Amino acid sequence: MFDKIKESVQKFSRKGVADEEAVEQLVKDIQRDLIAADVDVGLVSELSDEIREEALSEDVPKGLSRKEHVLEIVYNKLEELLGDEPEIEEPDRILLCGLYGAGKTTTAAKLADHFRKRGRKPGLIAADTDRPAAYDQLKQLSEDAESAFYGEKDAEDPVKVVENGMAEIDSNLTIVDSAGRNSLDEDLKKELSDMYEVFQPDYTFLVMPADIGQSAKKQAEQFTEAVGVDGVIVTKMDSSAKGGGALVACKNAGAPVFYVGTGEKLGDLEKFDPVDFVSDMIGQPDLESLLEKVEQLDTDPEKLLEGDFTLVDFKEQMESVTDAGMMEEIMQQLPIGTQMPDNMASMTEEKIGNYSTIIDSMTEEEKVDPSVIKKSRVERIADGSGTSREDVRELMKHFRQTKNMMDKFDKGSMKRGNMQKMMKQMGL
């Protein structure tokens, strides 16, 4: 993936000054890293020009150093490169498509396991009648995922299998594993089209491996034009150096990445969040220095950093660090300000007040579990708080970035004796 970008960022962070020469070297390093990750050269060139222009011509916001400002720009540009996190409503039917070797069958079971753990009752239909082992493989995986299964061992008509499966399977979420080909030929197009008509999926996901890199753009465009896809699931992200290129290529093709497969186990499936991805890519905060700043606040540092961080906690801590006049100092201990790209360090009292009003307009469920806040809820919250939808989305972005940082810690790590060991394990 983008393994080397963290090193390039850290190299820049160690420099004494963020002058034109240092910025140029950072840009060249990032160019090299992105091209190595198989990102399109044209996109890399465009991003490089934008970083140079904004880093050297913009005024530095109050509360940030020039170095912090440069890396804030890098963070935001990388996030833009990967696109927005797609929203997925509760589906009842999911159709998976893709070429040979993409990992559709394993992904079908991973999706079933993912939704079963979230209270759904999934069922899997084996509609790959071309590959002899597909039936047995999905049957076994269905048992592992504790999900219902339907298939016809020697069937020749996959569309009929889907039709029969819909009538027989006992589930409230049905996932169809379709056949693949070496390429998207006319037979596969017709098969998927006929299957779509019978199945009427809520979501059609194209499954593709990370190792195809920027070729993902062409494949996503072909499948979207031929059969219509709602998004992409990228598999084999655990081992591919081209994973970043595939993610960027999908975004550039207008096919958002919904999930990424990070291993062979059923639980190795994650919702794709560009904010988290970039945060992990850039690196972790200086935990020791951050802890010292947190301990000076009139608050419980364990509460601030423990895993069940909610919007209520976020509101309290946001107001606390602002009142204490220490936001700027704390933010300087993060990865050069990159965890808060919109500069919380210089947030005004008016902005804090808007955020508080937005949170007060949420239901208790939303405050405790912000993951439920989707498009319709954003609109309701904005109307109820007298703010804009952009304000609500901005708040949620700040919260996710903060929680992402907090989730890196555990209570044991808060003890001084464990800090050095933890930092060493994290490569700091």
Please, which pLDDT band fits residue 308 given cuts at 50, 70 and 90? low
**384 and 236 in one domain?**
no
**Interval 136-188: pLDDT, tens:** 999 999 999 999 999 999 899 999 999 999 999 999 999 999 999 999 999 99
What is the C-alpha to C-alpha distance for residues 321 and 331, in angstroms, rounded to an integer?
10
Residues 341, 331: contact at Cβ < 8 Å? Answer: no
Residue 391 clears pLDDT 70, i.e. is over it = yes
Q: Is residue 277 part of a domain?
A: no
> Do 125 and 179 reside in the same domain of the chain?
yes
pLDDT at 427 over 60: no
Confidence check: pLDDT of 337 > 60? no
Q: Are residues 300 and 396 in the same domain?
A: yes
| CA-to-CA separations, 254 to 186, 196, 222, 224, 233, in angstroms, rounded | 23, 21, 12, 9, 14
CATH number for 337: 1.10.260.30
The Cα–Cα gap between 112 and 394 comes to 32
Phi and psi for 199 in degrees, rounded to 5?
-85, -35
Q: What is the pLDDT of residues 354-385, one digit of tens each?
A: 888 999 999 998 998 888 888 889 999 999 99
Q: pLDDT for 86-124, tens place per residue?
A: 888 889 999 999 999 999 999 999 999 999 998 999 999
Predicted local confidence at residue 283, as pLDDT: 61
Helix, strand, coil abundance in the chain, percent, nearest 5 = 55, 10, 35
Residue 428 has pLDDT above 60, yes or no: no
**How many residues make up the chain in this entry?**
428
Q: Within this chain, do residues 188 and 252 fall inside the same structural domain, yes or no?
A: yes
| 406 and 378 both lie in a single domain | yes
Does 236 share its domain with 141?
yes
% the chain with pLDDT above 90: 42
| pLDDT above 60 for 336 | no
Do 48 and 197 share a domain, yes or no? no
Evaluate whether residue 186 is within a structural domain. yes
- Claim to verify: residue 345 and residue 243 sit in the same structural domain: no
Helix (H, G, I), strand (E, B) or coil at 18: coil
Question: Does residue 280 lie within any of the structural domains?
Answer: no
The domain that contains 48 carries what CATH number?
Answer: 1.20.120.140
Q: What is the token pair recorded at 387? A: 């703010």
Closest CA to 93 of 181, 165, 3: 165
Total structural domains within the chain: 3
118 and 262, same domain (yes or no): yes
Domain assignment of residue 379, given as a range: 287-425
| Global model pTM greater than 0.85 | no
Are residue 251 and residue 135 in the same domain, yes or no? yes
**CATH number, residue 253:** 3.40.50.300
Does residue 54 form part of some domain? yes
The region of weakest confidence among 32-41, 232-241, 342-351 is 342-351
